[in-house]
Structure 1
Amino acid sequence: MLGTIVNAVAIVIGGMVGLLLRKGIPDNYKATVMQGLGLSVLVIGLMGAFKNENILLLIFSIVLGGIIGEKLEISNKLDNLGIWIENKTGKGEGSVAKGFVTASLMFCVGALAIVGSLESGLTGNHETLYAKSLLDGIASVIFASTLGIGVIFSAAAVFIYQGIITITAGAVRYLLVEEVIREMSAIGGLLIVGISFNILEIKKVPVANMLPAVFLPILYQLLEPLILSATTIIQNIF
């Protein structure tokens, strides 16, 4: 858990620095920086998504994951949590909830969050999460300078999300082969593309509702022997 703790602290520190810088940045500069950040996030997402080597699994995961997320109403619950934080902090301009949701998703669904948490849980190696902490700290400065204090609260979401992955990694160790981790990272990259669309205001993508998709390659790995057996039987029949 040490890597996740360091990651959360880095986001808080970066967010505080961003808040200090925010007061001196004119609105037109903030808008330009936000657009540039959106484009950068788009490139990061595409780089991750292009690592995919099983397009059918990616499509299946996104579709089924989206259905699960809609059923669980993850997006609404995350938005409501952001609004609750906004009310508690006494901010009413709506930026707290937006900053919390945007930063939480950005920091949670990327390849580094997944791979780093798995490494931390399986081997006790925190180096990937340390590298992520540095990147997230810098990113939180930029996010907080444009989206405000909500970015700082995303540290709690990162702590819970990565902590759960780290703690449960040992239980599914035998399923976490290289192919599974690669596909999980690729799906995470695709979700980051969705986040960039939201930042650029191209299209509102319910990224939070698609979060279950990231973990479906693990289910596929578990069921793969049955799928292959069924495929072989069908081929023999026809």
Structure 2
Amino acid sequence: MILLGTIVNAAAIFVGALIGRLLSGIPAAIRQTVMQGIGLVVIILGLKMSMQTENFILLIVSIVVGSIFGGFLKIEAKLDQFGRWLEKKVGGKKEGSIATGFVTATLVYCIGAMAVLGAMDSGLRGNHDILYTKAMMDGFSAIIFSSTLGIGVALSAVPVFLYQGAIALLSTQINQFVSQELLDQILVEVTAVGGLMIIGIGINIMELRKVNVANMLPGLLIAAIGVPFVQWLTVIFAH
């Protein structure tokens, strides 16, 4: 079922937000420990994905060139700026505001490599591991957000479902334009590049260092284009 991962993710956010309204004053030490544990799980998932690559040179080139493009485009900075602008439009950071909780949670859950990668993996391979991991992260953070920002956090499950569901469904149409053999090879390399980004997300969750993962997102496109390009070069040099 293509949308299973998305459904689980949206449900985890909704349930987590409801639980958050029932709980109050979650100790900071518990929050930190749980998030560190989740961060470790995310890093392991990223390592597993990145080790699938069959072309380490392409993996390196995709991350480096993608990061350069993302840096020039200032993707991370623009997303942060958009979030601040949107928050001002809905009334600032007033605690308990439904609008603020909704916008804040939506931005956190929709903007990021895991949302895109997970939905693509669901659509292309029917593999929901990334979205299951994301659901675990989002569910717990929804408890934290809802306990401080209000029930508006639960409403963010709707745009998460629509956003990730659309990506998953659109991804199923790619095989109409690309042969299955080439698509499989593209998936391997895109998954590997995405795995490195997910490691970065895990590092961010554990607050070890700030990794600008959003700036690396163009690397996914570089990897996808790079596979047929490498094949073309191989044929050229073979002759």
TM-score, normalisation: structure 2: 0.73
Q: Give the counterpart of 1:166 among 159, 166, 169.
A: 169
Structure 1 84/15 Cα, relative in aligned 2: closer, same or farther at 3 Å? farther
> AA paired with 1:191?
M
Q: Give the counterpart of 1:117 among 114, 118, 123.
A: 123
Residue 100 (structure 1) aligns with? 107
Contact 1:48 1:189 in 2 (8 A): yes
TM-superposed deviation, 1:89? 5.7
Residue 197 (structure 1) aligns with? 203
Distance 1:5 1:196 in 2: 20
TM-superposed deviation, 1:100? 3.5
Distance 2:38 2:6 in 1: 25
Seq. identity, % = 30
> AA paired with 1:143?
S
1:59 maps onto 2:60 in alignment: yes
Contact 1:65 1:209 in 2 (8 A): yes
Q: Secondary structure at the match of 1:51?
A: coil
Mapping for residues 122-201 of structure 1, pairs under 5 Å: 128=127, 135-146=133-144, 153=156, 156=159, 159-160=162-163, 163-164=166-167, 166-167=169-170, 169-171=172-174, 172-174=177-179, 176-201=182-207
Give the length in aligned residue pairs.
224
Structure 1 51/225 Cα, relative in aligned 2: closer, same or farther at 3 Å? closer
Structure 1 79/136 Cα, relative in aligned 2: closer, same or farther at 3 Å? same
Distance 1:179 1:65 in 2: 19
> AA paired with 1:179?
Q
Contact 1:188 1:214 in 2 (8 A): yes
Q: Which moved more, 1:63-72 or 1:3-12?
A: 3-12
Contact 1:66 1:213 in 2 (8 A): yes
Distance 2:224 2:184 in 1: 11
TM-superposed deviation, 1:46? 1.4
TM-superposed deviation, 1:113? 2.8
Q: CA RMSD in A?
A: 3.6
Distance 1:21 1:58 in 2: 45
Q: Which moved more, 1:66-75 or 1:12-21?
A: 12-21
Distance 2:190 2:216 in 1: 12
- Structure 2: 5+ residue runs without aligned partners? none
> AA paired with 2:204?
N
Distance 2:84 2:2 in 1: 30
Q: Secondary structure at the match of 1:9?
A: helix
Q: Which moved more, 1:179-188 or 1:133-142?
A: 133-142
Contact 1:194 1:207 in 2 (8 A): yes
Distance 2:53 2:16 in 1: 32
Structure 1 14/105 Cα, relative in aligned 2: closer, same or farther at 3 Å? farther
Contact 1:69 1:210 in 2 (8 A): yes
TM-score, normalisation: structure 1: 0.74
- Structure 1: 5+ residue runs without aligned partners? 120-126, 234-238
Residue 211 (structure 1) aligns with? 217
Structure 1 65/169 Cα, relative in aligned 2: closer, same or farther at 3 Å? farther
Distance 1:2 1:143 in 2: 25
Contact 1:18 1:143 in 2 (8 A): no
> 1 or 2, which has the higher helix percentage?
1
Contact 2:17 2:139 in 1 (8 A): yes
Q: Which moved more, 1:67-76 or 1:100-109?
A: 100-109
Distance 1:118 1:178 in 2: 9
Structure 1 208/97 Cα, relative in aligned 2: closer, same or farther at 3 Å? farther
